[in-house]
Amino acid sequence: MFMQWIRENSIITVTVFVSLLFHSIIMLYNKEEHIIKENIITFEIVKQTANTQLSKEIQQNETSENKVEEKQKIVKKEEIHKEALVKKEPAPKKQVVKKETVQKKENKVRKENTDAIKAAGVNKTNNQAETYIKQNYNQIHQEIVNRIIYPPRAKKLGIEGSGYLLIAIDKTGTIVSVKAFDFPNKLLQDAALKAAKKVGYVASHEMASNVELKVPVTFYLR
């Protein structure tokens, strides 16, 4: 009976079957399309999040680079300021004495020494002192000059000049005192005094009193 009913109603059956099949296909297609849409929306959200994060990182990097550039500019300004301060520091002034002035002063000292020789030192009437000075002056002068060391600081500052030493010699030939006069700078004066003290002994004499003589000393940068 049932099979007979199916045969009699085969068209209806086929129609119903086709209708069900078509309806299933449409439902499956709508489901897949819905899944695709959801995936697209999810991808867009992820893409926007990634772009936002990338933008933040770029901004942070730009901010860091700007800070580094600002620090470099500050350091450079400080270096330029320090260089300017160093350049502003005045160089030590050189104390230069003209050659003519040095020569005049030396000639003056030599003349004074000649007068002292003529006067025989402190005791103008002592012929023995006069003779002693005449005979030993050049040797004593050379002994002192040979021991002079030009002060390095005076050289650096360009200091030149001359003065004279007043030397007292006892009868044993020992230099008992040395005094310095007319030197333009203490560095030169100390160097001359030190050289005279290094000599220590010169020619002896038989006089009861000390013999004094002037010895000119010149410092000249060649």
When mean pLDDT is compared over 54-58, 64-68, 135-139, the highest value belongs to 135-139
The mean pLDDT value for 46-54 works out to 61
Asked if residues 167 and 215 have their Cβ atoms less than 8 Å apart, the reply is yes
CA distance 161 to 211: 27
pLDDT value at residue 123: 45
When mean pLDDT is compared over 38-42, 58-62, 70-74, 123-127, the highest value belongs to 70-74
pLDDT value at residue 119: 47
Element (H, E) at 217: strand 211-219
Q: What DSSP string runs through 162-210?
A: EEEEEEEE-TTSBEEEEEEES-SSHHHHHHHHHHHHHH-B------SSP
CA separation, residue 168 to residues 86, 117, 139, 145, 196 (Å) = 50, 14, 15, 17, 11
pLDDT value at residue 166: 96
pTM above 0.75, yes or no: no
- Checking if the pLDDT of 38 tops 60, the result is yes
